[in-house]
Structure 1
Amino acid sequence: MVVDRSDRIGSLFFWFGAHHRHQIHLAETQLTDDGVFLDVGANIGEFTVAMAMAKPAARVIAFEPNAAVRSILLQNIGANSIRNVRCIPSALGEESTMRTLYACDDSALTSLLSFTPKHIASAQVDVLTLDDFVRSQAVDRIDLIKIDVEGYELNVLRGAKESLERFRPSIILEVNSITSRAAGFELSQLFDLLRSHRYQFFVYRRRSWTPVGSELPTQEDIWAQPEERVGRVDKP
């Protein structure tokens, strides 16, 4: 992987070789060989490259509005001779519009929200809803979505309601109560939206993905699975 060692994510890759090992292993179990994976907030391509290489017959669509990290993402796609990735220079949200992108010295904190004093307005970027993208691009299936968008998660899901019902994808989603409150919502609203689409939730504990109980996660990655698939597949 091509990395920027001055960036926190790049440094993690340089020293440890990966950042989301358990989540990528989960993703590999949830994407069929010929499936479609959406990487929403692709950054430099940890999930994009891993999934494209693990499933060469699958289609990978990577959304990354940050031009600086998208440049590295494209380098990583090229360096690995990957041919099954399409890179979209847009963000996903609740409505199709233009928004200000806020960046700082940690690329993982780039967001459509300003929630730290280090954030500076860096660019105006295109925002699409997933449902509009699906219609305009005639997307015919979505098997798995990863969402890591620093407080914009609820907006992404609100713009994806038709797709959640039509395709019933598995979702790997970062949640963080600090960034969600900066965005003006509570995490309970995010979980309620997914419950309204009949999803169940799992977190990685004690080396396995275990069901979420009554106490909702506040700062970690969750696996949201359509309830009709929970009993039919083995949890990794």
Structure 2
Amino acid sequence: MYKTTKQNILDIVISTYRFFFLRKSLFKLNKLIFSLSLRGMGILNHENDRLSGEDFFIKKIAKILHNSVVIDVGANIGNYSNKIKTSSPSTNIYAFEPHPNTFTELEIQANQNHYVALNAACSDLAGSLQLYDYEKKTSHASLYKDVIDKIHKGVSQSWYVNVTTIDEFVKSSEIERIRLLKIDTEGNELKVLLGAKESLAEGLIDIIQLEFNEMNVISRVFFRDIYEILNNYLLYRLLPDGLVFLGEYYSLNLEIFAYQNIIAIRKEYINEVKDWLDI
């Protein structure tokens, strides 16, 4: 009865909206409303870490990171790792950054803040790959050339970089559990997860933070792919004041190729963190 009443109200609201707004003359207005709604749902808020929700997340999760392992994939110059280390000094951080120029600064930050910097990319297979970035500056380094050339309209140059997998690193470093895996790899997030298949299957990774954005158009990755590989996790979108549960897969709500932070929490671990993260 409640669902029927709720659906009837929604049908009335939709019909009313269509009656007034479904017209060519209001297309630009509807487009503006759509753009504003995306930002209200935690999408395209990339201007700073407060708007993206990252500051909220780090502040909350710091309470459960003590003496645990955090892996920062795509660490850039170390801003994320530095924040984690400041909030939770006992955390053991391994920060991966393949770009040779950016890594120089990351290594300085790692030495100052007492964590480990590794000059390598993470993907689904170990070896060597070309990394692309702007010709005259470093900002959006990606294993996909078109991220620079087509998404950012830049002129790219490339470097050959070492590549490892999370599974390989976990084994070689004898890591028993990863409390947090953060992935920011400009479109290569799914391959990083594929390279962590064994760790995911064995329940070694408690929480994952990753970006989903327009770079996934270049890498041909759908949000459904993320859902499928993280089938033992509950997925949330990060907002400035909390996490919003994404629920069952529904393409209309999820296949939005624009900047957003996704938090995945292992189902068996949810009771450990729900109070800390207000979910």
Looking at structure 2, the residues matched to 193 and 231 of structure 1 have their Cα atoms a distance apart, in angstroms, of 22
Matched, 1:29 2:60: yes
1:228 to 268, 273, 276: 268
Matched, 1:97 2:130: no
Looking at structure 2, the residues matched to 230 and 70 of structure 1 have their Cα atoms a distance apart, in angstroms, of 34
Greater Rg over alpha carbons, structure: 2
What's 1:218 paired with? 257
Q: Label 1:206 to 1:141 Cα distance change in 2 as closer, same or farther (>3 A).
A: closer
Shift of 1:64: 0.2
What CA deviation, in whole Å up to 9, does each residue of 1:138-169 have, x standing for no partner?
12221001100001001000000111233132
Matched, 1:183 2:183: no
Matched, 1:66 2:106: no
What's 1:127 paired with? 163
Q: Label 1:71 to 1:82 Cα distance change in 2 as closer, same or farther (>3 A).
A: same
After TM superposition, the structure 1 stretch with the greater mean CA deviation from structure 2, 159-168 or 58-67, is: 159-168
Instruction: Name segments (4+ residues, structure 1) moved above 6 Å.
Output: none
Gaps of 5+ in 2: 1-46
CA contact (8 A) 2:120 2:162 kept: yes
Matched, 1:159 2:200: no
Structural RMSD (CA): 2.0
After TM superposition, the structure 1 stretch with the greater mean CA deviation from structure 2, 91-100 or 27-36, is: 27-36
TM-score scaled by length of structure 2: 0.70
CA contact (8 A) 2:179 2:205 kept: yes
CA contact (8 A) 1:146 1:173 kept: yes
Correspondence 1:49-88 to 2 at 5 A: 49-78=82-111, 81-83=112-114, 85-88=115-118
Q: Label 1:205 to 1:57 Cα distance change in 2 as closer, same or farther (>3 A).
A: closer
Shift of 1:180: 1.3
What CA deviation, in whole Å up to 9, does each residue of 1:21-51 have, x standing for no partner?
4324313433421111111000111111111
Looking at structure 2, the residues matched to 170 and 91 of structure 1 have their Cα atoms a distance apart, in angstroms, of 20
CA contact (8 A) 1:27 1:144 kept: no
Gaps of 5+ in 1: 1-17
Looking at structure 2, the residues matched to 19 and 92 of structure 1 have their Cα atoms a distance apart, in angstroms, of 25
Percent identity, aligned pairs only, is 27
User: Partner letter of residue 91 of structure 2?
Assistant: A
Shift of 1:20: 2.2
CA contact (8 A) 2:216 2:257 kept: no
Shift of 1:206: 6.8
Q: Label 1:122 to 1:154 Cα distance change in 2 as closer, same or farther (>3 A).
A: same
User: Partner letter of residue 86 of structure 1?
Assistant: V
Looking at structure 2, the residues matched to 192 and 201 of structure 1 have their Cα atoms a distance apart, in angstroms, of 11
